[in-house]
Amino acid sequence: MKQRCPWATQSPLEQDYHDQQWGRPTKDDDILFEFLILELMQAGLSWKTILTKQQAFRTHLDQFDYHKIAQYDQDKFNQLMNEPAIIRNRLKLEATINNAQKFIEVQQEFGTFSNYLWAFTDHKVLDYQPETSTEVQTTNQLAKTITKDLKKRGFKFLGPTIIYSYLQAMGLINDHLMDCFVRKELKQ
């Protein structure tokens, strides 16, 4: 039996997300945008809730195509607000559209959103090597710095805790526990 981070043992959805996506370094802007929106949507909710709705988000947010989302008008916004398959929080949906626009602006400035994000760590993964779940942080100075910069650039509904979770998800921060099989795979 594979040893996993404890949070990933609660459901098959969480296990699959952990095993296939979470904490695996990515520089793919499409994935980076999707993860950013999922983390934003998760605020105040369980991760299982978000994973349960992930496919519905893909369907109703044009496969997380930030170019399309950036162009959403009031009619599309109203349609999303009435879609029971997704999180229908006005502030989160407004932030999703706004952040798609800002994501594109960052790409225009840095070539890719990935270039922007990974530059904060000189394109290196930060590996905190936690032995237990209690050693895993919920935020740090890097997350605070990135949050401050993103807000300065006009991003919304992002705080240091959301950004720290985002950095974990997209693999810039490796918080897989030391005995987790994914950590061992990443070292190969």
**Which one of 14, 39, 66, 166 is the catalytic residue?**
39
Is 83 assigned a catalytic role? no
Residue whose pair of structure tokens reads 């930060």 in the numeric block:
126
Distant-in-sequence, close-in-space partners of 100: CB < 8 Å, separation ≥ 6: 33, 66, 67, 69, 70, 72
17 is known as an active-site residue: yes
List of residues 6+ apart from 176 with CB closer than 8 A:
5, 23, 182, 183, 186
Given 14, 34, 47, 66, the catalytic residue: 47
Decide if 109 contacts 156 (C-beta within 8 A). Answer: no
Are 56 and 98 in contact, with CB atoms under 8 Å apart?
A: no
Token pair for residue 169? 């998800």
Angstrom distance (rounded) from CA 6 to CA 115: 32
**Active site includes 72?**
no
DSSP secondary structure letters along 60-91: HTGGG-HHHHTT--HHHHHHHHT-TTS---HH
Which residues are tagged catalytic?
17, 39, 47
